[in-house]
Structure 1
């Protein structure tokens, strides 16, 4: 692992090309292992609307959403335990945020080319002083960064395969989202799209 460049936008620390090709391929295999143990879900909002991303998790807690709301759960909806967070994923956390507590959840989002993620805050965690670390694999994604309150001026940046974003400090409560995926910008995955791993301390 080696940063070719690192830049900061509104407190979001973007480590560009932090993961080389071999490391990315290894993480894809780890994701396949997670999905075999805890299959991807079609998340549903409180209103019953299906989200465009597919989700699964690893760790002591998985993040889910359904008509009961957004929350962390200790088990997959099928009743099985979430698989452990892969060692290679934990190494990224140790490398970039060594001062933080170890993550208890790794949310895995699968974005097909048409998938989006609306502007939102990561605010379901008990200790908001702990960072969130996000890993991009596959096609480029247009990442939009907003403000603590909804609305106002935003900034956007393209995230590429191998980029890792650290959201801590003042950025922790900012709204953010994925506006679109650019198919064909990576050949890492077997099909067009993007995988995003998001590491969080829950308790």
Structure 2
């Protein structure tokens, strides 16, 4: 069974080679990057962890308000109320880290093909994630306002060490901008299997998810996993 899944994964990738777009300096979108088999494996791992004592919950913020998503963490707990990392969590799965490394390497190749810069890491630095935040967005109510990811160490932020984001399930509108103004923000649709990376000069962008687009998850993924409607988003970060 495992061998057959690997063969199918390779066949999927050969039939539909991932396409890459440079959205702005240091920001790369790899379309259809994760195969159905890889997405299914990620879902299985997240499902097992999500049902445990440190699994999914609905976080609070501000004066008792609730975020419009479910959250769990690998590596360390992230507290959205205090905007800081806390208790240790199970380490980021090695399988996830390999996919992150592959995506960053392919992004460097894309940058090299589209620029004259000799050192691609000056545009998109390398990353060694030690935390993974997993957000689940319900198809009609899930959303996340414009914000910056800035709770990592000053050294990590100053170096522009990138955030790496995996999208699985239903598609979503993704806003990004240098300003916290949704009306002036650019918009891109993130689909199941897409990988978004932003670092370097784009590390401090404001970004958010205003809308989940219902009934857009790949049918093959749903058949293989019985994944509930909605979107799963994994964001990998390097704290130090």
**TM-score scaled by structure 1?**
0.88
2:129 matched to 1:103? yes
Give runs of ≥4 in structure 1 deviating > 2 Å: 96-101, 149-153, 187-190
Aligned residues: 193
Deviations 1:37-87 (A, max 9, x none): 42212111122110011100001x221223xx2211124xxxxxx112112
CA shift at 1:201, angstroms? Answer: 0.3
Shift in alpha-carbon separation, 1:9–1:101, aligned structure 2, 3 A: closer
**TM-score scaled by structure 2?**
0.75
2:70 matched to 1:54? yes
Q: Between Structure 1 and Structure 2, whose CA radius of gyration is higher? A: 2
Deviations 1:68-125 (A, max 9, x none): x2211124xxxxxx11211221012211335624211000000001110100000111
Q: Which secondary structure state, in structure 2, belongs to the residue aligned with residue 141 of structure 1?
A: strand
Unaligned ranges ≥5, structure 2: 1-9, 106-124
The question of whether the paired residues in 2 share the 8 Å contact of 1:139 and 1:192 is answered with yes
The question of whether the paired residues in 1 share the 8 Å contact of 2:77 and 2:85 is answered with yes
CA RMSD of aligned residues (A): 1.7
CA shift at 1:34, angstroms? Answer: 2.2
Alpha-carbon distance in structure 1 between the residues aligned to 2:176 and 2:22: 11
The within-5 A match list for 1:34-53 is 34-37=49-52, 38-53=54-69
Deviations 1:150-173 (A, max 9, x none): 237211011000000011111100
Alpha-carbon distance in structure 1 between the residues aligned to 2:147 and 2:24: 15
2:205 matched to 1:191? no
The question of whether the paired residues in 2 share the 8 Å contact of 1:106 and 1:198 is answered with yes
| Alignment correspondent of 1:78 | none
| Alignment correspondent of 1:122 | 149
2:165 matched to 1:134? yes
Q: Which has the higher helix share?
A: 2
